[in-house]
Structures are given as C-alpha cells and as structure tokens.
Amino acid sequence: MAKDATKDHTGGGDPKRSLMLLWRRQNQTPVRNGRRDLSVDRIVLAAIEVADGEGLGALSMRRVADKLNVGTMSLYTYVPGKAELIDLMLDTVYAETARPEPAEDGWRERLARVARENWALYHRHPWMLGVGVSRPPLGPNVMAKYDYELGTVAGIGLSEVEMDTVLNLVIGHAETSARRALETGATEGATGISDEQWWQARGPVLSTLMDPGSYPLAASVSAAVTEAAGGAPDPARTFEFGLARILDGVAALIASRRGQPA
C-alpha cells in the first residue's frame, strides 16, 4: 500500500523529547516576547485555534507564531517542531471528553456515552480526522481517557483484549460516522447546495433514465431511504443506528460467555 505523504501522523517526533513534552517534564527557561511569556500550553492552545478555524493544512510553526505575535524561532525553545506540536494538540483535546462517575446505568449506556463523546469531540475539532493515530501520543490525557473508557466495559465478562477491541470498535464507528457527517457539511458549504437539494435535482432526471426493473432492490431501497430521510440520509441517525447494532453484538458476546441465549 502506498504511503500517504500528505497525512500528518502522531508519534513522529523524537521519542524522549516528545514524551517529556507531553508529560511536561521538560526543563526550559521562559522567553519573554515583550507582552507575555510563552509556554508550551500557550503554544498548543494557539495551534488548536488555528487548526479549528483554518484546518490542519494551515497549521505550521510560522502560522502559530503569527497567532501569538512572536517570531517563529521563539517557538522552538518550547516545541521542537510540528510533529511534536500535533502530539501535544491531540493530547490536549482528548481531555475534553466527559468522564462522569459510574452510575446505576449499565455497560451499554456507558459505552454509548463514550461513543457520543468521541462523536462530539470530532465535531468540535474536525482537524483530528486528518491525523493518523496508529501510534498515539502517549500523554497523560490520552492515558486518562483510555483508562476511563476501559472502565465502561470492565467486569462485564470480556477479556482484557476484548475490552480494548470493543472500545476501538465503538470509537472507530464514532470516527467514521463523524468523518462522513463533516464531509457532508463541508460539501454543502463549498457548493451552497444541501444534500436534499442535490438529490431533488437529480432524482427526477435519473427516474427517466433508469429502468427500476433492471435494479429492483436498488430502486426499492433508495425510495424507502429517501422517504424516511426526507430526501437525504441523516448522518446522526446513521451513527446512532450503527452504534446500537455494535452494542447488540457486544451484548451477544457477553451472553455467550454466560451461556445465555443471544
């Protein structure tokens, strides 16, 4: 498989320096820029603002320096480069997911909450979807989030490996669904045409060109989907439907462990 040279990835910086930064164990002297002291946290928050407002493609050390009204070289006293900066940005936003104390609700509700928190996180920071995280930034917020989310499926009959796999499956679904939803919104913004308007403009023309009898299932299902969705699929509803089916599968696995019918 060809490497995607245009995609940013986590874990690309120097291991020791990256981890020292993530855990804030670096020993650096503040540099005054004339109005305020720079810091790792200030730089990271500025970088997140750039990525939130302008997209990941606009992120650079120079752009962050401009945001802070300092010289670009000032940033390198604190952050070695863009690779380390992205690790820091991700670890910072991962702290945003809600982590309520365990309640009376069951594992299904807890795991659904995890999925929805991740769905919302991707919507707040769409640039996250442009970062490859197969080698995650091993910072304190990443570890705290992972530890909490594992707790939602602890003690329900899964092995430790299955706990991790179920969690990845649920969060992966949230990521994929959020990507589709955000792509829909971006397309509407770029074209000025909603999905519903797009389908309404093409549906009548297609009906004169396509013989439903040649594609009976496609014609029948498409008509049902269009009627149910009011003209275009609803990404949020699709997300919730897929989440429910994943949770059904987990419930069946747990039942099988207990010798119960699925």
pLDDT recorded at residue 243: 98
Q: What is the pLDDT of residues 179-238, one digit of tens each?
A: 999 998 877 788 888 777 877 787 777 778 788 888 888 888 877 877 776 656 788 999
pLDDT at 1: 37
Q: What is the pLDDT of residue 229?
A: 64
Average pLDDT over residues 64-88: 95
The per-residue pLDDT for range 90-142, each reduced to its tens digit, is 999 999 999 988 767 899 999 999 999 999 999 999 999 999 888 888 999 99
**pLDDT tens figures, 135-192:** 888 999 999 999 999 999 999 999 999 999 999 999 999 999 999 999 988 777 888 8
Domain ranges of the chain: 8-94, 195-231
The 3-class SS string of the chain reads: CCCCCCCEECCCCCHHHHHHHHCCCCCCCCCECCCCECCHHHHHHHHHHHHHHHCHHHCCHHHHHHHHCCCHHHHCCCCCCHHHHHHHHHHHHHHHCCCCCCCCCCHHHHHHHHHHHHHHHHHHCHHHHHEECCCCCCCHHHHHHHHHHHHCCCCCCCCHHHHHHHHHHHHHHHHHHHHHHHHHHHHHHHHCCCHHHHHHHHHHHHHHHCCHHHCHHHHHHHHHHHHHHCCCCCHHHHHHHHHHHHHHHHHHHHHHHCCCCC
Rounded to an integer, the average pLDDT of 24-48 is 76
**pLDDT at site 55:** 96
35: confidence class by pLDDT, cuts 50, 70, 90: very low
Q: What is the pTM of this model?
A: 0.86
Q: Looking at residues 242-247, what average pLDDT do you find? A: 98
Q: In sequence order, what are the residues at sequence separation of 6 or more whose Cβ sits closer than 8 angstroms to the Cβ of residue 227?
A: none
Q: What is the pLDDT of residue 126?
A: 97
pLDDT bin (cut points 50, 70, 90) of residue 36 is low
pLDDT the model gives residue 5: 43
List C-alpha distances in Å: 169 to 121, 223, 238, 246. 17, 31, 16, 8
Domain 8-94 has CATH 1.10.10.60: yes
pLDDT digits (tens, 9 = 90+) for 18-34: 899 999 887 655 555 44
